[in-house]
Amino acid sequence: MRKLPVPKEVVFRAAVIDKPNYKAARDVPSDKLACPKWEDAIKG
């Protein structure tokens, strides 16, 4: 769109939600969830 370079592949870090931590992950309000900055996410 802006003719900026785009990486061919972007891999985002995932968090595993399992029995010990599912309540903590579920109890975070959506407005408190943090999204990574694009620059940090594409660093790999």
Token pair in block for residue 36: 């990574």
Confidence (pLDDT) at 22: 79
- Token readout for 8 is 């061919």
The pLDDT score that the predictor gives to residue 16 is 84
pTM over 0.75: no
pLDDT at res. 44 = 56
pLDDT at 1: 62
pLDDT in tens, the chain (44 residues): 688 888 888 777 787 888 888 777 677 787 887 777 878 777 75
End-to-end CA distance of the chain: 23
pLDDT at residue 8, as a whole number: 85
Contact at 8 Å (CB) between 15 and 25?
Answer: yes
- Could you tell me the sign of the dihedral formed by the alpha carbons of 15, 19, 20, 22, in that order? positive
Provide the residue type at 17 as one letter. Answer: I
